[in-house]
Amino acid sequence: MLVTFTTDAYADITMFGDVALTMLKMMGHSATVPGAILAADVPAALRRLTAAIDAEKASPPVADKDADEPVVSMAHRALPLINLLAAAAKAEHNVMWK
């Protein structure tokens, strides 16, 4: 499953479903797809997401010894969504995902 975040203030962001659902929960929203955040609620969602990412940065990443690929931190995965939310907050636009 892929989840695409959209707003009129920024380019669309598409993420794998499990990562997107984790970030939605970090923002304080249910993991329902499709969904939306009203423009008035975007700054609070952005604050919750950045706070959760900062808290996760404090703990070391857990490496999967069976995986051949490097571990990509949630902070790196969240950066495009953080930029989208910041642009939406600045322009006072809604954010939707499907």
Tens-digit pLDDT profile for residues 6-22: 999 999 999 999 999 99
CA nearest to 42, candidates 98, 87, 97, 76: 87
Average the pLDDT over 41-70 and give the result.
82
Whose tokens are 């051949």? That residue is 68
Whose tokens are 């919750």? That residue is 48
Whose tokens are 């990509």? That residue is 72
- Token pair belonging to 15: 């993420």
Q: What is the pTM of this model?
A: 0.86
Distance between CA atoms of 49 and 42, rounded to whole angstroms?
Answer: 10
pLDDT for position 31: 81
Average the pLDDT over 63-73 and give the result.
70
Distance between CA atoms of 90 and 98, rounded to whole angstroms?
Answer: 22
Distance between CA atoms of 97 and 7, rounded to whole angstroms?
Answer: 9
